[in-house]
Amino acid sequence: MAVLLIGAGVTGAWVVAAGFLSGGPGQPVVLGAAVEAAASAMTAGSLEGDATTLPEPDGPAVAAVMPTHKKTKLKGGPVAGGGNSGGTVSTGDSKANCIYLTFPNGVLDQSMIDTVSSETGVTYNCLEAYANPMATWAEWESPWMFNDPGDGFDSWLAASSAHQVVMSMDLIPQEAGSTSDPLSWEQSCAAGDYNQYATTLAKNLVSYGAGNIVIRLGTEANGNWEADYVGTSSEEMSAWAACFDNEVSAMRAVSGAHFLFVWNPNVCTADLPINEWYPGNSYVDIIGVDAYDADCGTDETVGQEGWTAYYTDSSSNGGSPDFPSLANLEAFASANGKALSFPEWGLGSGDDDPAYVTDMGKMFSSDDFSFETYFDAGDDGIATLGSDIPNATSAYGSAF
């Protein structure tokens, strides 16, 4: 939440805040003046390429981690083998366990999957992958993890009906977006001008055998590092939501398409009224919350400050019910009858914090939760499960 990690992930530069990180492909952001100043220094183009140098915040170091994932030859993969696997991702309380890994050359490596499973005792039938950011509409319509059978994702999906992929996807490619003027593309999308691309995307996914995947559409769009950044005005938020609705409707209309769509804000990023850019219950199947182990206001871990301070973001949100704290998003999901998910969560490198893992697990167990995905890529400043964080790994095996 208040951690600011800056670097280059598999898909490009990233900044993480929102609970700490916003994930490989997505990115967490640092809140407050320091965070917003850093975020404003990023541009859509900077997400593809080298690390972006952000201004140094005043006061203690902030750790905001947001990985940004794009089409690259380091791709996330599924995990199989182990103990608990949870259910199959659904719109209800399925409690599925997913994992995000990066495979050398983008080719699924079962030995890597087996290693994580043996370390955690968890069986992973669900893989997370990042299609964002993409430069062009042509790339956007044909996600890398499925368009090349040699990468193994297509055959892995086909091998078992229990296998699932959760794919992170921006509403638009970088060539269509403008983080400084979101309305320049949002109004076109809200008018249905981009429906043709969504239709082609859905047809391609169905043809790849990926017609049943889970799609994090518009991942972390409350962060201005995303190509489809929502903006801050009521007009922008309304147009963004209408864009989401149009693309979901276009994709659902394709024969053979049975996608589940996740609306996925980044925790503690921008004090935007949650309901003003929520696409609506008819278009959202699952609500996602990306929350890494760092308070956006204090830069402390759960082990340092306790769960309540972390969960409420009390140091940052001033008590606003619209602030995207974990507590507010939990209440929002419940009020709308939607299951929650943790599409991205993890600990910073060297942060062996079992308290964070245990408390995330308690929330996962007690609420209606569709799925969780630990960001186990070994990059973007996030610790991998195993010997690097033995106490947290033990807690993970017990909690999930």
364-391: per-residue pLDDT in tens?
A: 999 999 999 999 998 888 999 999 999 9
Q: Is the model more confident about 338 or about 77?
A: 338
Whole-number pLDDT of residue 396: 97
pLDDT at 171 over 90: yes
CA dihedral 14, 16, 18, 20 (to 10 degrees): 150
49-92: per-residue pLDDT in tens?
A: 332 222 322 333 333 333 433 333 333 333 333 356 678 999 99
Whole-number pLDDT of residue 297: 84
Q: What percent of the chain has pLDDT over 90?
A: 67
CA angle at 11 for the pair 392 and 75, rounded to the nearest 5°: 70
Whole-number pLDDT of residue 233: 97
pLDDT at 271 over 90: no
Residue 392 to residue 109: CA distance in whole angstroms: 25
Domain 72-292+303-399 sits in CATH at: 3.20.20.80
What does residue 332 show for φ and ψ, rounded to 5 degrees? -65, -45
pLDDT band at 139 (very low <50, low <70, confident <90, very high): very high
Domain ranges of the chain: 72-292+303-399
290 bridge partner residues: 266
pLDDT at 316 over 70: yes
16-37: per-residue pLDDT in tens?
A: 333 333 333 333 333 333 333 3
Q: Strand, helix or coil at 121?
A: coil
Whole-number pLDDT of residue 79: 32
Could you tell me if 77 and 109 are in contact, meaning their C-beta atoms sit under 8 angstroms apart? yes
